[in-house]
Amino acid sequence: GLDFRYMGRQPIDSDNKSSFWPMALDVGLQIKPFVKKVDNFSLVVETRYLNSPTNKDLDYATTNSVFNRSTYILIDDMFYNTFMMYGIYKPMFEHYTPDHTTLAQSILYDNRGYSVQHKAFSIGLAPNVPFANFHFIQPMTNSSLNQDEGFIVNLGARWVTLGASLIYSYRSVKGNEKLQNTDTALERKAHSLSGGIMYKNLILNAELLNIAKEFTPGKENSGSITTIEARYKLWREIYIESIFEFANVSAGFSAESQMNPGDASQATVGFRFFPVAGIDLSVQYRKTTDTPKDKTKDKFDEAEGLIQAHLYF
């Protein structure tokens, strides 16, 4: 499979220049070595070519930042629709969005949501309406890579005929950060409750996400982010969409550090169009604010126009 995203960004009420760049290219391969005897055994490998807004040429996207996005063994389609997987990947948690610049993704993954990966073992089942999956995260063998250790639990239900879902997720990990020249495990916990429903041409999703992070041993900052998404089909595969997020802590966009006292919000409205299978086009207006409680620190207030061409198969 292949997934390619081309981005355009136009700051509004700002002296910053517009940017157009190939943002990311993902290439994936699924191999079934025992297809004649064990059809549900797969080896999956994915590579990501990552680019930054300052690089406009395609050669940067294919030579500047290349990393293994995931490599894992998957056994699926077992009894009670059970699956198992082991390797390096990003386990399921909370309401999924590919946009790593949202408030929830920025705060949860320390502004690095585009490159999160864990060494993990996962097991899950979905016998009918209810489903559950469990992910056990381990430190990577290479000490220069992700050393998180912990677990993620997802419990939920999907009602296909109603077009509805309800999911609770819990995440608890400890990282082995260097703190004052000492290996210290700092704990990060998160709870997520999300739900969605589709009624005729209207699609609604909402999430309440609570995050608690230790920045020094025994002392944690916590905050909540509320996300509301609405999409309405205007005609065929043309949608109008709006996404609103509210956080009761600083998001780290302003002069204030992330998760410190303050509040942040992000509003996105626009159109989305799927002309043919495998092509996703969008144009959006986004307004982001991050207001520290400390009035001596500057507030972040930015408006921008965004366009994206997303190709996939």
The pLDDT value recorded for residue 60 is 57
| Structural contact between residues 4 and 312, judged by C-beta atoms closer than 8 angstroms | yes
Assigned token pair, 91: 């386990």
What is the span of the domain harbouring residue 117?
Answer: 2-312
Q: What is the pLDDT of residue 180?
A: 47
How confident is the model at residue 178, as a pLDDT?
56
| Total tally of structural domains belonging to the chain | 1
pLDDT reported for residue 61: 54
Give me the torsion for CA of 186, 188, 189, 194, rounded to 10°. -170
What pLDDT score was predicted for residue 67?
87
CATH of the domain at 265: 2.40.160.10
C-alpha dihedral, 187 to 264 to 252 to 240, nearest 10°: 100
Q: What is the pLDDT of residue 64?
A: 63
Q: What is the mean pLDDT of each run of 10 residues along the chain (313 residues)?
A: 95 86 94 85 94 73 76 94 96 91 91 88 95 96 86 96 95 75 79 97 98 88 97 97 97 84 96 97 97 90 96 95
**Alpha-carbon Rg of the chain, whole angstroms?**
20
What pLDDT shows up at residue 47?
Answer: 94
